[in-house]
A and B are shown apart, each in its own frame.
Chain A
Amino acid sequence: MKQVAANMAGTVINVLVQPGDEITEGQDVLVLESMKMEVPVQAQASGKVVEVKANIGDFVNDGDIIVVLE
Chain B
Amino acid sequence: MNKVLIANRGEIARRIIRTCKARGVATVAVYSDADKDLPFVREADESVHIGPPPVPHSYLNVEAILAAAKSTGADAIHPGYGLLSENEAFARRVLEEGLLFIGPTPEVIGQMGDKLTARRIMEAAGVPVVPGCEQAIDSPDEAAVIAMSIGYPVMLKASAGGGGIGMHICRDEAELRQAYQSAKGRAKAYFGNDAMYLEKYVERPHHIEVQVVADQHGNVIHLLERECSIQRRHQKVLEESPSPFLDTATRELLCDAAVTAAKAVGYSGVGTVEFIVDEQKNFYFLEMNTRLQVEHPVTEEMTGIDLVSLQLDIADGHPLSIKQEDVKALRHAIELRVYAEDPVTFLPSPGTITLYQPPAFEDVRIDDGVETGTQVTPFYDPMIAKVIVSAATREEAVYQAQKAMDHFLITGIKTNIPFLKEVLQDEQFLAGNYTTWFVTERGAASSNEKR
User: Which A residues lie at the B interface, using CB under 8 A?
Assistant: 7-11, 33-37, 39, 59, 62
* B32 beta carbon closer than 8 Å to chain A: no
Q: Inside 8 A of B348's CB, which chain A residues have their CB?
A: 8-10, 34-35, 37, 39
- Nearest chain A residue, comparing its CB with the CB of B165: A36
Given contacts A34-B350, A35-B350, contact A7 B345 (CB under 8 A): yes
The distance in angstroms between the C-alpha atoms of A8 and B340, with both chains bound, is: 11
Of B347, B350, B379, B381, which contacts A7 at CB under 8 A? B347
- Nearest chain B residue, comparing its CB with the CB of A8: B347
16 interchain pairs, CB-CB under 8 A: A7-B347, A8-B342, A9-B350, A10-B378, A34-B347, A34-B378, A35-B379, A35-B380, A35-B381, A35-B382, A36-B380, A36-B382, A37-B347, A37-B348, A37-B382, A39-B347
Interface string of B420-446 (1 = CB under 8 A from A): 000000000000000000000000000
Q: Inside 8 A of B350's CB, which chain A residues have their CB?
A: 9-10, 34-35
B349 touches A62 (CB 8 A): yes
* B412 beta carbon closer than 8 Å to chain A: no
How far, in Å, is A57 (CB) from chain B's closest CB?
12
Max chain A Cβ within 10 angstroms of own Cβ: one of B351, B378, B380:
B378
The distance in angstroms between the C-alpha atoms of A7 and B345, with both chains bound, is: 10
Determine chain B's interface SS by DSSP, over half rule.
Answer: loop
Interface residue total, chain B, C-beta cutoff 8 A: 14
Q: Inside 8 A of A37's CB, which chain B residues have their CB?
A: 347-348, 382
- Nearest chain A residue, comparing its CB with the CB of B186: A38
Q: Inside 8 A of B341's CB, which chain A residues have their CB?
A: 35
Q: How many A-B residue contacts, CB cutoff 8 Å?
A: 39
Q: Inside 8 A of A9's CB, which chain B residues have their CB?
A: 348-351, 378
Interface string of B345-357 (1 = CB under 8 A from A): 1011111000000
How far, in Å, is B34 (CB) from chain A's closest CB?
12
How far, in Å, is A67 (CB) from chain B's closest CB?
18
Q: Inside 8 A of B347's CB, which chain A residues have their CB?
A: 7-8, 34, 37, 39
Which 3 pairs from chain A and chain B are nearest by CB? A35-B348, A34-B378, A34-B348
How far, in Å, is A1 (CB) from chain B's closest CB?
25
- Nearest chain B residue, comparing its CB with the CB of A36: B381
Interface string of B182-221 (1 = CB under 8 A from A): 0000000000000000000000000000000000000000
From 364 to 411 in chain B, residues with beta carbon under 8 angstroms from any chain A beta carbon are: 378-382
How far, in Å, is B17 (CB) from chain A's closest CB?
23
The distance in angstroms between the C-alpha atoms of A12 and B350, with both chains bound, is: 15
How far, in Å, is A29 (CB) from chain B's closest CB?
16
Q: Inside 8 A of B340's CB, which chain A residues have their CB?
A: 35
How far, in Å, is A22 (CB) from chain B's closest CB?
25
Other than the given A9-B349, A34-B348, A59-B378, 15 more pairs (CB < 8 A) read A7-B347, A8-B348, A9-B378, A10-B350, A10-B378, A34-B347, A34-B350, A35-B341, A35-B348, A35-B350, A36-B380, A36-B381, A37-B347, A37-B348, A62-B349
The distance in angstroms between the C-alpha atoms of A10 and B347, with both chains bound, is: 11
The distance in angstroms between the C-alpha atoms of A34 and B380, with both chains bound, is: 8
A8 touches B380 (CB 8 A): no
- Nearest chain B residue, comparing its CB with the CB of A39: B347
Q: Inside 8 A of A7's CB, which chain B residues have their CB?
A: 345, 347
- Nearest chain B residue, comparing its CB with the CB of A11: B378
Q: Inside 8 A of B380's CB, which chain A residues have their CB?
A: 35-36
Q: Inside 8 A of B379's CB, which chain A residues have their CB?
A: 35
Q: Inside 8 A of A11's CB, which chain B residues have their CB?
A: 378
Q: Inside 8 A of A59's CB, which chain B residues have their CB?
A: 378
From 307 to 357 in chain B, residues with beta carbon under 8 angstroms from any chain A beta carbon are: 340-342, 345, 347-351
How far, in Å, is A40 (CB) from chain B's closest CB?
11
